[in-house]
C-alpha cells in the first residue's frame, strides 16, 4: 500500500485543505493499492499561488535557458537511473503491461524530458530582424503559470509532454493527475526535489473534475494544457476562449491503418499488434480501424483474428502478458458496451466478445469485428480498449476516403511494400501524424490532431513554442 497524506505545493509536502481521499484500486486484483488526498479548490488556490509567486518573483523564469537545462538535466539523469521503479508503479496503478510500461510509461517520458533539455541549447530564443525603420529584436519569453491536466492511460508521458517544454521555457506548473493514476506523480515530485528544482516551479494536486474545472478557470493561470476526452476538451476550450487564455488540447482519436494491396501481411499484422493494441488499446492514437482491400479481405481477416485471438491476457506485472486489464471498472463496462453495440449493428465477431478472460480484475477479451461499415458506431466512436474494426475498401481512393471520413484526425498508418508510395498515401490522410509500416511518436516531431482530435501540437520545437510569448523590440537605425 502506497499512502500519501500531503500534496506537493511550493516545493514542500503540504497538508491538504480538505479531508477527502482518493483510493487507487489495482485493476488486476481489484484491491486498494494506494491512497492520496483529494484536492479541493482551496488546494488549487494554494498551488496556483505558489506557482504565481515562483514565476513573478522567483529565479526560474530569470535563469538562462542553459541554467534551467542544467537543473532539468539532473532530473533527467535521476529519471533514467530509476525508470524501472516508475514502470512498476504505473503498471500497478493502472494495469499497463509491464513490457509496454518500461518503454511507454517510463523510458519515453524520460526521452521527452532529455529532448527538451538538449533543445534548450539549439533553440532560437532571440533573433535580430531588419525592420522598416531600424533593427528589431524578437525575443521569446515564458508564457507564465501553466495548468497541466492529464489522464490515467499514459500518465507520465502525457504529463511530460507539457511539463518538459513548459519548464525549459521558464514557466511554472500546476499539475493535476487523474484520480485513477496519481501515484506516479508523487515519485516524480521526489525526483524533482532531489534534482534541485526551485520551490513552486512544480506543484502537484490530484483531484477530480470539479477541482480540475476550477483550475482551468483560475485567474492566476496563464495557459492550460489538457489531454483527455473530446467532450472535456470542448468545455475547457470554451472556458479558455472566454478568458482569451492560450490552450493546448490533445483529445481523442479513431485512427485508421490502411493495408495496401502489396503489403507483407505477416509483417503488417505483427506491426499492428503494437500500433492497434498498444497499452491494452487504451491509447488515443491506437489504430483501431483496420482498412483492408476487398481482394485480400479474407486473408487479412484470418491473419488478424489469429493474432488477436492468441494475445496473452493476464497479470500486467507478468513479462509474458500482452493485454492487461482495463484501468477502471467503468472502463471495462464502456468497452463491453461497445462490443454489444458492434454485435447489434450487424458486424461479424471474428474473435473475442463478452466472455471475460479472468474472474477477477477488469479484463476484456481482445476483440476483432469484421464486415464493419464505416458508418457503424464501433467505427466512428473512440472505444479506448482492445476492440478493432476491420473495414473493406475498393481501391486506394476509397481507402483514403474512408480513413478521412471521421470526426477525428489524430493518427494513422499505411502498410505497403513500397515505402515511397506509402508516404504519398500518408500525405493524403487528414491527421496530425501518419506512419508508414509503423506508428511511433518521436520527441523531435510534433504530435496532435486535426478536427475533434484537438488544438495545437506537443513534442518537437512546436511543443516548446506553445509555452512562449513572442516580443518584438524595435528601435531606430
Residues paired with residue 469 on neighbouring β-strands, in sequence order: 141
Please provide the DSSP assignment of 121-134 as one string: HHS--EEEEE-SSS
Q: How many CB atoms lie within 10 A of CB 246?
A: 18
Residues paired with residue 51 on neighbouring β-strands, in sequence order: none
284 catalytically annotated: yes
433: Cβ contacts below 8 Å, ≥ 6 apart: 285, 410, 411, 412, 439, 441, 445, 447
Q: Can you read off the three cell numbers belonging to residue 476?
A: 531606430
Phi, psi of 226 (to 5 degrees): -135, 135
Burial of 279 (0-12, 13-18, 19+ CB in 10 A): buried
**How far is the C-alpha of 222 from the C-alpha of 174, rounded, in Å?**
11
Q: SS3 for 340?
A: helix
Q: Can you read off the three cell numbers belonging to residue 277?
A: 493494441
171 catalytically annotated: no
Residue among 93, 250, 322, 336 flagged as catalytic: 250
**How far is the C-alpha of 319 from the C-alpha of 297, rounded, in Å?**
33
Residue among 92, 284, 382, 458 flagged as catalytic: 284
Phi, psi of 351 (to 5 degrees): -165, 155
> Which of the residues are catalytic?
250, 284
Amino acid at each position: 500500500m502506497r499512502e500519501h497524506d500531503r500534496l506537493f505545493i511550493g516545493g514542500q509536502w503540504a497538508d491538504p485543505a480538505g479531508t477527502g481521499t482518493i483510493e487507487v484500486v489495482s485493476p488486476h486484483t481489484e484491491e486498494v493499492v494506494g491512497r492520496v488526498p483529494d484536492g479541493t479548490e482551496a488546494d488549487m488556490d494554494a498551488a496556483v499561488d505558489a506557482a504565481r509567486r515562483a514565476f513573478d518573483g522567483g529565479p526560474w523564469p530569470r535563469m538562462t535557458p542553459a541554467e534551467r537545462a542544467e537543473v532539468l538535466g539532473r532530473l533527467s539523469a535521476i529519471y533514467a537511473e530509476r525508470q524501472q521503479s516508475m514502470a512498476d508503479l504505473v503498471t500497478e496503478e493502472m494495469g499497463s503491461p509491464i513490457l509496454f510500461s518500461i518503454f511507454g510509461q517510463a523510458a519515453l517520458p524520460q526521452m521527452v524530458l532529455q529532448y527538451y533539455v538538449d533543445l534548450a541549447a539549439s533553440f532560437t530564443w532571440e533573433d535580430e530582424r531588419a525592420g522598416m525603420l531600424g533593427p528589431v529584436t524578437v525575443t521569446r519569453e515564458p508564457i507564465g503559470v501553466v495548468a497541466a491536466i492529464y489522464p490515467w492511460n499514459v500518465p507520465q508521458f502525457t504529463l511530460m509532454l507539457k511539463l518538459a517544454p513548459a519548464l525549459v521555457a521558464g514557466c511554472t506548473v500546476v499539475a493535476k493527475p487523474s484520480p485513477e493514476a496519481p501515484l506516479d506523480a508523487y515519485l516524480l515530485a521526489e525526483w524533482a526535489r532531489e534534482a534541485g528544482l526551485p520551490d513552486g516551479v512544480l506543484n502537484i494536486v490530484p483531484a477530480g473534475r470539479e477541482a480540475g474545472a476550477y483550475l482551468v478557470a483560475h485567474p492566476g493561470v496563464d495557459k492550460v494544457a489538457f489531454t483527455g476526452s473530446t467532450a472535456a476538451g470542448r468545455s475547457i476550450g470554451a472556458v479558455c476562449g472566454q478568458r482569451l487564455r492560450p490552450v493546448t488540447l490533445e483529445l481523442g482519436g479513431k485512427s485508421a491503418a490502411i493495408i495496401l494491396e502489396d503489403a507483407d501481411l505477416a509483417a503488417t499484422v505483427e506491426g499492428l499488434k503494437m500500433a492497434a493494441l498498444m497499452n491494452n488499446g487504451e491509447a488515443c492514437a491506437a489504430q483501431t480501424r483496420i482498412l483492408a482491400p476487398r481482394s485480400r479481405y479474407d486473408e487479412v481477416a484470418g491473419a488478424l483474428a489469429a493474432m488477436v485471438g492468441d494475445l496473452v491476457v493476464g497479470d500486467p506485472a507478468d513479462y509474458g502478458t500482452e493485454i492487461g486489464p482495463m484501468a477502471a471498472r467503468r472502463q471495462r463496462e464502456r468497452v463491453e458496451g461497445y462490443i454489444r453495440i458492434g454485435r447489434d449493428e450487424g458486424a461479424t465477431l471474428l474473435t473475442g466478445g463478452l466472455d471475460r478472460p479472468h474472474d477477477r480484475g477488469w479484463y476484456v477479451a481482445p476483440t476483432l469485428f469484421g464486415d464493419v461499415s464505416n458508418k457503424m458506431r464501433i467505427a466512428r466512436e473512440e472505444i479506448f480498449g482492445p476492440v478493432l474494426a476491420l473495414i473493406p475498401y475498393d481501391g486506394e481512393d476509397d481507402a483514403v476516403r474512408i480513413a478521412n471520413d471521421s470526426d477525428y484526425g489524430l493518427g494513422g498508418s499505411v502498410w505497403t511494400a513500397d515505402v515511397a508510395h506509402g508516404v504519398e498515401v500518408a500525405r493524403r490522410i487528414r491527421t496530425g501524424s501518419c506512419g508508414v509500416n509503423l506508428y511511433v511518436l518521436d520527441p523531435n516531431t510534433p504530435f496532435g490532431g486535426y478536427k475533434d482530435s484537438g488544438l495545437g501540437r506537443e513534442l518537437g520545437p512546436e511543443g516548446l513554442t506553445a509555452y512562449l510569448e513572442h516580443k518584438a523590440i524595435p528601435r531606430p537605425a
